Amino acid sequence: MKFEESKVLQHLPKQFFANLVAKVNAKAASGADVINLGQGNPDQPTPEFIVKAMQEATADPEDHKYSLFRGMPRLKQAAADFYKREYGVDLDPEKEVAILGGSKIGLVELPFALLNPGDTMLLPDPGYPDYLSGVALAQVKLELMSLSPEKQYLPDYQQLDPKVVEQAKLMYLNYPNNPTGAVATPEFYEDTVKFAKEHHIGVVQDFAYGAIGFDGKRPVSFLQTPGAKEVGIETYTLSKSYNMAGWRVGFAVGNPDMIEAINLIQDHLFVSLFPAIQDAAVAALDSDQSSVKSLVALYQKRRDDFYAAARKIGWEPYPSGGAFYAWMPVPKGYTSEEFADLLLDKAAVAVAPGTGFGKSGEGFVRVGLLIDEPKFTEACERIGKLNLF
């Protein structure tokens, strides 16, 4: 028998970065010593106290049972306490917190949970490619908000087509931003709440890199904005702050109707997470956050090391305020994909072309700050020899 995928699955977006990975692997297989700056996978180990908490939890038979469908109350309480302590935001742990098996799950299932087929949603361009999976699965109409360096990669709501704004029901934001490293300001979030209320648009702010801000500036939470909870939610993940990307744990916080929609869809899809992972997540969130401070200092050093090496060859970065990426301009005469191909081919340095994140990523490539010196210097020296800047 032969089986065909459903029409919905046939319309899933193609994985742009699968192609990049194949190119990098082929180059490495040819014997080249590739410096891979193309990835976004945290390279540091999970802090030991979290691993220990997990080891102890796995020894507890209580943690081997089904979790409560909507997650363990102590994890929801820990998420609420974390937001109160870190951002001064009050949350009802039962009504305003939803546990997620990684924030990707929440971001992909949300359009399905909140919209009907044919409804319109707004996504940032450039943006995290997995948002598009949610658009395809929910069969909703996508409209892009083009972001530009001139406007600090923040959407200009006045520039959006009024017809699109009228139809839009949901909007995603992501600050600190992947891929650009841009950060949001409190004023921008105030405008966002105003815009969302005026046009009845739900806001989902993806705070995956919330812990990672540079130059002593802590990224603000959307929920710190007066009125934010009336219009939207924020998704948070333990993947980046605590190097727990493989553990798959995060949460969404904010508007109770949106939280209920997430919980309802998840009642049908999952039985929450392995309780031991939830206990380890409680240990992470309840901790004194000194591991996060050290991690941010490491990314800051890497960003500074990479910028210094790039500037030495005349390659001036777009200034990144957070996340763990450098957003680097492409020299004249190349598209971002051509430039990325050239760097891989001639310098054995892999970077992610900006267009992998959307049309408005043209003119830039993304560098992951996920290796240490002296590799940045070596990568930039190799690129410098191509005399492109």
Q: How far is the CB of 158 from ligand PLP (least distance, A)?
A: 25
Instruction: Work out the number of other CB atoms within 10 angstroms of the CB of residue 294.
Output: 11
- Cβ proximity to ligand PLP: between 282 and 380 the closer is 282
- To ligand PLP, the closest distance from the beta carbon of 358 in angstroms equals 13
3-state class (DSSP) for residue 52:
helix
Site of interaction with ligand PLP (CB under 6 A): 40, 102-104, 128, 174, 178, 206, 208, 237, 239, 245, 250
Place of tokens 């839009």: 168
- For residue 251, what are the β-bridge partners? 99, 236
Q: In the complex with ligand PLP, which residue's Cβ is closer, 208 or 348?
A: 208
Q: Least Å distance between CB 344 and ligand PLP?
A: 21
CB of 178 to ligand PLP, least distance (A): 4
Q: Output the smallest distance, CB 265 to ligand PLP, in A.
A: 16
Nearer to ligand PLP, 83 or 315 (CB): 83
Report, in Å, the least distance between residue 1 CB and ligand PLP.
35
Inter-residue long-range contacts of 67-70, CB under 8 Å, 24+ positions, other chains counted = 67/271, 67/272, 67/273, 67/274, 67/275, 67/278, 68/272, 69/263, 69/266, 69/267, 69/270, 69/271, 69/272, 70/98, 70/99, 70/263, 70/266, 70/267, 70/272
Least Cβ distance, residue 257 to ligand PLP (angstroms): 22
- As a whole number of angstroms, the distance between CA 278 and CA 280 comes to 5
Closest to ligand PLP by CB, 214 vs 315, is 214
The closest alpha carbon to 253, from 197, 207, 220, belongs to 207
Closer residue to ligand PLP in complex, CB, 172/189:
172
Q: Measured from the CB atom, is 144 or 245 closer to ligand PLP? A: 245
Strand order in the sheet with 141-146: 97-100, 250-254, 232-237, 202-206, 168-174, 120-125, 141-146
| Residue 51 neighbours by CB under 8 Å, 6+ apart | 45, 280
